[in-house]
Amino acid sequence: MSLISINPATGQRIHIYGSHSSVQIEAALKQAHTAFLGWRELSPASRVKHLRALARSLRRQRDDLADLITAEVGKPIIQSRAEIEKCAKVCDYYAKHGADFLADEHPTGAPKQARVVYEPLGTVLAVMPWNFPFWQLFRAAAPSLMAGNTLILKHSANVSGCALAIEQVFHDAGLPTGVMQTLLIPSKEVEALIKDPRIAAVTLTGSTEAGRKVAAQAGAALKPCVLELGGSDPYLVLEDADLDQAAEICAAARLVNTGQSCVSAKRFIVHQKVRTEFQKKLVKQIAAYRVGDPTDERTQIGPMARHDLRDELHAQVTKSIRRGAKLLLGGKPLPGPGWFYAPTVLTRVKAGMPAYDDEMFGPVAAIIGVRSDEEAVRVANDTPFGLGAAIFTRDRRRARELAPLIDAGMVFINASVRSDSTLPFGGVKQSGFGRELGVWGIRAFVNVKTVWSA
């Protein structure tokens, strides 16, 4: 089977990649297991040196790697460079703190002769999406490798160039052969990998539907998994919010990576007293964003990554308008080559519209009016997703009281939702389970073992 990489800014083919054969897959699994037997025996200090070398390799190649992201995904080049730097930083973070996270512990109240140790599991299969092709791999890889595991990457077909480049980064950094490998395979071959006894665990970032399949397959094989899935993040704008600040942050949160992020702002739940004023400010902010060639450093919004994604988004917008939403800005594909979509704002959004019910994966903001804090929380939770959320108010105590009421893995106050190497990242409900990053990420794929010495 061929895997095709297409430049979404032009619609032109970049490269056709052949998928790996069954013989190559078997060789990769064997090599990953052999590498694990040696990698797990390295001292934490030795693995730290490798992670630091990996960070240096990323920074040394930053511009070339960013160019590749922009070519395959259409991400504005400034954001692509920032993605590579973020990958380097997560390697630095686990190099600095990973050994402490893995140190033996004596739990409070436990018998004196007992301790808890953290040991690697084996080879982790990473099934990754296209929208942050480097970051989503590295936020799983850095802690997993520091813990002593090895890694096999199955990436999205449209970023096969990035997938191979990631493997090359590890090679250039001097990590042992087999510690991290890329397999170019179609999604239908993932199940066989999960069943293979040499795969110890699975981590997936992707759609809720993909998560259901992988969770079922991992469960059948009795293997742990971490799932970071879809999101329809609510941003609550209360009547006492600083509306200029809120509109600026909300626009940026909606449009990062052309709105193609699980944790980008999706639904703006605004108190009716300030809805009209807020939406004027939000439209002004979004209309000012520069759409165009993603290789241009002045561009803030690039194309959508695939034509089918643009078609699906436009169908969601059109259906929402037919069902009563009011269009304030955009609402259509842009003419010319590539898969550009006009930055869009919808208001008067209600239940029964795709803009309310579904994840909108693109540059479309949905404004929903509410009349109280209680209604704002109800609407925020009226979704199958539970990844991130934000609250805008001048009353921080009020926000801290509302935050526990929102079904989400992360709640930010007067700020946009984001991942940070030091903090747990993940969601609830149909947004998945398990946590990445921080101490939680490194302990996701270890054997938490009790050792009792009589």
Statement to judge: residues 206 and 268 lie in one domain: no
Statement to judge: residues 18 and 147 lie in one domain: yes
Q: Which of 228, 250, 359, 436 is catalytic?
A: 228
Per DSSP, the three-state class of 197 is coil
63 falls within a domain? yes
pLDDT digits (tens, 9 = 90+) for 375-433: 999 999 999 999 999 999 999 999 999 999 999 999 999 999 999 999 999 999 999 99
Residue 447 pLDDT level (bands cut at 50, 70, 90): very high
CATH value at residue 252: 3.40.309.10
Q: Catalytic annotation on 250? A: no
Statement to judge: residues 148 and 270 lie in one domain: no
* Cα atoms in the Cβ-side hemisphere of radius 13 Å centred on 61: 21
pTM of the model: 0.97
421 falls within a domain? no
Statement to judge: residues 190 and 271 lie in one domain: no
The mean pLDDT of 92-121, rounded to a whole number, is 97
Statement to judge: residues 103 and 209 lie in one domain: yes
Statement to judge: residues 292 and 269 lie in one domain: yes
In angstroms, rounded to a whole number, what is the distance separating the alpha carbons of residues 95 and 296? 34
Q: Which of 83, 250, 262, 436 is catalytic?
A: 262
171 falls within a domain? yes
pLDDT digits (tens, 9 = 90+) for 132-184: 999 999 999 999 999 999 999 999 999 999 999 999 999 999 999 999 999 99
The mean pLDDT of 255-259, rounded to a whole number, is 98
Statement to judge: residues 211 and 329 lie in one domain: no
Query: Which letter, b or e, does each residue of 283-307 get, where b requires 16 or more Cβ atoms within 10 Å of its Cβ?
Result: bebbeebebbbbbeeebbbbbbbbe
Helices (H) and strands (E) in the chain, counts: 15, 17
In angstroms, rounded to a whole number, what is the distance separating the alpha carbons of residues 119 and 321? 54
pLDDT at position 454 over 90: no
Statement to judge: residues 213 and 354 lie in one domain: no
Statement to judge: residues 263 and 402 lie in one domain: yes
309 falls within a domain? yes
Average pLDDT, the chain: 98
Q: Are 147 and 118 contacting, i.e. CB atoms less than 8 angstroms apart?
A: yes
For residue 217, give the H/E element and its range.
helix 208-220
pLDDT at position 349 over 90: yes
66 falls within a domain? yes
Q: Which of 78, 94, 228, 91 is nearest to 169 (CA)?
A: 91
Statement to judge: residues 97 and 223 lie in one domain: yes
Statement to judge: residues 265 and 397 lie in one domain: yes
Statement to judge: residues 313 and 433 lie in one domain: no
The mean pLDDT of 243-265, rounded to a whole number, is 97
Report how many domains make up the chain.
2
Looking up tokens 């006894």, which residue turns up? Answer: 197
In angstroms, rounded to a whole number, what is the distance separating the alpha carbons of residues 381 and 416? 18
pLDDT digits (tens, 9 = 90+) for 368-386: 999 999 999 999 999 999 9
The mean pLDDT of 249-258, rounded to a whole number, is 98
pLDDT at position 355 over 90: yes
pLDDT at position 334 over 80: yes
420 falls within a domain? no
**Residue 36: domain span:** 2-230+429-452
Q: Are 267 and 385 contacting, i.e. CB atoms less than 8 angstroms apart?
A: no
107 falls within a domain? yes
| Lookup: tokens for 168 | 């090359």
pLDDT at position 223 over 80: yes
Percent of the chain whose predicted confidence (pLDDT) is above 90: 99
Q: Catalytic annotation on 262? A: yes
424 falls within a domain? no
